Structures are given as structure tokens and as C-alpha cells.
Amino acid sequence: MLEGLIEGFEAIERLPELERRLAIGRPLRVKLGLDPTSPDLHLGHAVLLHRLQRFVEAGHHVLLVIGDFTARIGDPSGRNEARPPLSDDAIAANMATYTDQASKVLDLERIEIRYNRSWLEGLGVVGLLRLLSQVTVAQMLKRDDFAQRYADGRPIALHEFLYPIAQAYDSVELQADVELGGTDQRFNLLMGRHYQELHGQAPQVCMMTPLLEGIDGVKKMSKSTGNGIGLTEAAEQQFGKTMRIPDELIVRWEHLVLGTSSGELRALEAALRAGRLHPMEEKKRIAAAIVRRYHGDAAAQRAREHFERTVQQHQAPTEISTYETTPGRRLVDLLVEVGFAESKRAAQRELQGGGVRIDGVPVREMTACWGTETGVLSLGSRRFLRIMPTLPNTERS
């Protein structure tokens, strides 16, 4: 049982304590906090969600904490500047999608969902001062990101110190036995142990997973950096984006995203190194497994066929949306209008780069206009739109 629970975690503080608590035989209180700082969950979040689900299946008492209070502070982990504060409206809008998206991984009927505003707001000034008195500035500056910013002379706002303290108090309120988090949360999770001891509780076991790199292979997955894959993205997008991960991330994604066992990973790595397995084919298998997990078998098959047809065979997809426009529309303007480019300058760059095609033929002229014929406008290998020129109503009559 222990091996199944700890598979895929990079660090555990402390493993002997986990073993002792499991030996008692009672269900453990296992906590994971999510701050609704964006409207979508991505595969990086799912790494932890899938490991949390293991505790659900093992019969433990799992607590999913939605940080509707801590989101207003903003987690400074790994940042070199303060996060901009979120409004209550933005937090509420993001929260509205979280549980629905989390249900793609978690059995929410067997999980207790809590919102930390319900106890943190009630602390008041006196309660907050009491918590602040129990930690020193020197302790806070042991956090790597705080220490680096202080050494570099970059500002640290006082409210940022409140984040790890507030998250730690969540563990006190919930009497957590175990808390899950990424390795970037180490300081915050250990602060939970500190406060639990001060409140006479047995300190929680902290279980941390590695951070998942995004499809760029460099930065951790994040919607703000544009390198993420959302749990609710369309099947074709999930498949196509997965195919863009660097070959050197194949084994790591197998491990973190799919939860492949250590033994299978060693065999996979050996097969890739020996050339018995082509990276392209293995990435297709990973992409199909991801789509299958969030959209089902049929969607995974369609997404694979779509990728092979449009990217590998350079064919247009069988189903293409239609967009009506007036004849003579400048292509630069049309690319922006249909959402293929964010601005005219971006559209010009796409034209210069040769990624824009009409019926498969590249178009590079900045002054190019759409004629009177219906045709397929494409950008790269994944974006297609059937353009149908129509006369304005005044000219039709």
C-alpha cells in the first residue's frame, strides 16, 4: 500500500512518520490546496490531482482546499516580483470552473471540498497578529525566492509574508495528517508543520512532486507562459500540443503525466536510447493517452487521425468551419478578424514566415487580398477555415 501512495513523489517530509500513521489503521486526513488564480486547470495541476486520487481510492479522508482567501494574497513561490492582487469577482469566476475541471480526475463524491475564506477571514486582526508573532523575519527569508529578492534589492511586500502563514494555518484548521504539493511549495508545506506543532498537533507529512515542464520543455507549465495544456481543451489541441514536447521529455511526461511505473520507465528509456522505439510514435501514444483520459477513446482516435492527416500528411481536415467575408478583403486584416493572428503586425509576421496558405499554396505578399472564390485559409498545420466571399446585402438586391 505504501509503495502505491508514494510512487511519483520527489520528496517526502518525513517518510517514517507516514509509515507510522498508516500503521495505526485509521484513515488519514490528506490535504491539497488549489488557489483559483486562473480560470483553468492544466496537466501540471493534474500531476497532483491524480496522486491525490490514490489516497481517495485507498480509503483516506481527502480534503480539497479551494484557496479563495489565499488567492487574494497570491502565492509568491518561485517569483521575482509580487503577484498582482485578484479581485473577488475574478476569484469567484475562476472558482466556478475549478470543481468541474477537477472532477475529470477526482471522485468528488468521496472528497470534502473546503474554502479557506471560511476560517481565515474569521481570524480578524488579533488572530492574524498572533500568527505573525509565531514566525520571524529571519525564518521567512530562508525561503529561496524571498532570500534572492532581498539579496538582489528587489522589493518584497509585507503582505507576501502572509501567504505561507495563511496556507500553514489551513493545515491547523483541518488537522491535516498529510499535505501534497509541488517542490516549489516546500517552504509553505513545512510552515504548516511549524504551526501545527505550535497548536499542539502532530505535524503533517509533506509529499512533493516535481514540477512539470510545459510543451516548450523549459519553463514549468503555466497558462501565463502559453506552454500549458488545459484539462478542458479540445481533443485535437491536447493531442497536437503534446506532440510538440521535446524528445528528452518523453520519459518525464510518462512518469509525471501518465504515472507510469519506475520499471516500465526504465524499459522505455532503454528502448528509446537503443532506437527500438521512435520518439514520434511514443509521443503519439502519450498524446492519445492524455486525450483518452479527458475526452474518451473515440476522441483520442479522432485526434490521432487529425494529427496524422493535417500535420504528417499535410492534408486539410475533413470538417472545416466556414467564415463569410466580402471579396477584396485584405489578408492581413482577415487573419486578425478570424483569430489567426492577434494583431496586424503578427499577421504580417505569419505571412513573411510562409505559414499562411490558401488552398495549400503559401502566400507571402503583404498586400494580398481575398478574391471572389471560396477556398481554405490555413495557418501552419493545425488551423483551417473555409472562407466564403459574399456580396454585401446592398449589392445582392
Three-state SS letters, the chain: CHHHHHCCCCEEECHHHHHHHHHHCCCCEEEEEECCCCCCCEHHHHHHHHHHHHHHHCCCEEEEEECCCHHHHCCCCCCCCCCCCCCHHHHHHHHHHHHHHHCCCCCHHHEEEEECHHHHHHHHHHHHHHHHCCCCHHHHCCCHHHHHHHHHCCCCCHHHHHHHHHHHHHHHHHCCCEEEEEHHHHHHHHHHHHHHHHCCCCCCEEEEECCCECCCCCCECCCCCCCCCECCCCHHHHHHHHCCCCHHHHHHHHHHCCCCCHHHHHHHHHHHHHCCCCHHHHHHHHHHHHHHHHHCHHHHHHHHHHHHHHHHCCCCCCCCCEEEECCCCEHHHHHHHCCCCCCHHHHHHHHHHCCEEECCEECCCCCCECCCCCEEEEECCCEEEEEEECCCHHHHC
CA atoms within 13 A on the CB side of 20: 9
Domains of the chain: 2-209 (3.40.50.620), 235-312 (no CATH), 322-396 (3.10.290.10)
Whether the per-residue pLDDT at 191 is higher than 60: the answer is yes
CA atoms within 13 A on the CB side of 22: 17
| C-alpha dihedral sign at 330, 334, 340, 341 | positive
- The confidence score (pLDDT) of residue 95 equals 83
- The confidence score (pLDDT) of residue 395 equals 43
At residue 396 the predicted structure's pLDDT band, cuts being 50, 70 and 90, is very low
List b or e across 275-311, with b for residues whose CB sees 16 or more CB atoms inside 10 angstroms.
eebeeeebbbebbbbbbbbbbeeebbebbbebbeebe
Lowest mean pLDDT among 13-27, 30-44, 86-100, 205-219: 86-100
Whether the per-residue pLDDT at 143 is higher than 90: the answer is no
pLDDT tens-digit readout, 346-389: 888 888 888 888 766 678 888 888 877 777 888 877 788 888 88
pTM: 0.76
Q: Sheet holding 205-209: strands in order across?
A: 11-13, 205-209, 178-182, 29-34, 61-66, 111-115
- Tracing cell 514549468 back to the chain, one arrives at 220
Whether the per-residue pLDDT at 394 is higher than 50: the answer is no
Higher pLDDT, 362 or 19: 19
The cell for 310 is 493535417
The cell for 50 is 491524480
Give the mean model confidence (pLDDT) for residues 302-313. Answer: 82
Whether the per-residue pLDDT at 30 is higher than 80: the answer is yes
Q: Judge whether 62 and 111 are in contact, CB under 8 Å.
A: yes
- Going by DSSP bridges, is the β-strand pair 356-358/375-379 parallel, antiparallel, or unpaired? antiparallel
Q: Judge whether 313 and 324 are in contact, CB under 8 Å.
A: no
Give the mean model confidence (pLDDT) for residues 13-24. Answer: 94
pLDDT tens-digit readout, 235-286: 988 998 898 899 999 999 999 999 888 889 999 999 999 999 999 999 999 9
- Radius of gyration of the chain from its Cα atoms, rounded to whole angstroms: 25
Q: Judge whether 360 and 339 are in contact, CB under 8 Å.
A: no
